[in-house]
Amino acid sequence: MKRRVLTFVTVAASWATLTTPLHAQEAETVAPVAPPAAETSSQGLADQLANPVANLISVPFQFNYDCCYGPADGDKLTVNIQPVIPISVGSDWNLITRTILPVVTQGETVRGVGGASGLGDTVQSFFLSPKNASNGFVWGVGPVILWPTGADAFSAKKFGAGPTAVMLKQGGGMTFGLLANHIWSFADAGNAHRPDVSATFIQPFVTKTLPDSTAFGLNVETSYDWKSESWVVPVNATVSHVFAFGKQPVSLGVGARYYAERPEGGPSWGARFVMTLLFPK
């Protein structure tokens, strides 16, 4: 157990030592116009990060450490690469693409079986969202797609798709919201013997952002597998702050996770470290 915790802390510390606090912004390259101060300040960037469909290019690298799986109390490290790219659609709408590509290292869960490592399946969401919020209320809807990019140990080996939606309210440094999707499989990816996919994901979240860009977050990443009739309900508490590499804005965050519900043999607790590269317009 001590070795597992020290491994995660070492990874997080190696990223954190590379940064220094700095207020930063990036000018546009074509017809430059200074963005509003609320969007270029550190607090403004932190507020935008709390919004899943903000008009902000960001590239999060999310390190998730979970313990303890199976009778061998195996651990698991999942690095989610999660680029978020907004695309302007006319004068009133944005199309926000959110992609999650997991890189997984799984320890031994049953003694004598060994561990595994490789890519997981990619989940890609597309949100059509109004450019202008109404009284701080923001929403987005669109499709979500499951791409079977994962190694055998971490893949459903199915193509899947379904609806996704997000809604949130921002004001006074507070963000309250809900993100949800459902994925059904519709085609095999080389292994017809794998069970079909029918899974629901629901994530309520709340974030408090301070004037210095420090943000405190709480969310519940609930998922329900309709085929196995099993719940996974991790509760995450996080704290983050906007820093910079030179003139490059970066958000660094850490958090802890408790599994309020899990299938038999699932993890009981976890930790999270997130480094997000920010590219304000």
The answer to whether residues 11 and 242 touch, using CB atoms and an 8 Å cutoff, is no
Q: Which residues pair with 217 in a beta bridge?
A: 207, 238
Residue stretches of the chain with pLDDT short of 50: 1-40
- CB-count burial class (<10 Å; 0-12, 13-18, 19+) for 246: exposed
- CB-count burial class (<10 Å; 0-12, 13-18, 19+) for 91: exposed
Cα–Cα dist 40/192, whole Å: 50
Residue 281, pLDDT score:
76
Structural tokens at position 14: 């190696």
CB atoms within 10 A of CB 185: 22
Residue 204, pLDDT score:
98
> What number of residues does the chain have?
281
Strands, DSSP E only, in the chain?
A: 57-69, 74-81, 84-89, 93-106, 116-119, 122-130, 137-147, 158-171, 174-188, 198-209, 215-220, 222-225, 230-245, 248-261, 269-279
Cα–Cα dist 181/164, whole Å: 4
Q: Which helix or strand (DSSP H or E) is residue 45 part of?
A: helix 42-49
Residue 42, pLDDT score:
81
With CA atoms as reference, report the closest residue to 152 among 198, 211, 104, 200.
104
pLDDT tens for each residue of 70-121: 888 889 999 999 999 999 999 999 999 999 999 999 988 877 777 899 999 9
Strands 198-209 and 215-220: antiparallel
